[in-house]
Amino acid sequence: MSKTSEHKEPKTLDQRIDRIYRMAKSHFGEVRFVGIKRHTKIGWVAKIQFDDFDSLIAEGEDAIDALRNLRKRLRKIIDRYNMV
pLDDT at 4 over 90: no
Cα separations (Å) of 48 from 2, 3, 10, 35, 82? 43, 39, 22, 7, 20
- pLDDT number for residue 3: 56
- pLDDT number for residue 11: 87
Q: Is the dihedral of CA 33, 25, 8, 58 positive or negative?
A: positive
Mean pLDDT of 51-77: 94
Q: Which CATH architecture has domain 13-83?
A: 2-Layer Sandwich (3.30)
Kindly list the domain boundaries of the chain, sorted by start residue.
13-83
CA 32 to chain centre: 14
For residues 8, 72, 22 and 30, what is the CA-based torsion angle, rounded to 10 degrees? -170
Higher pLDDT, 10 or 49: 49
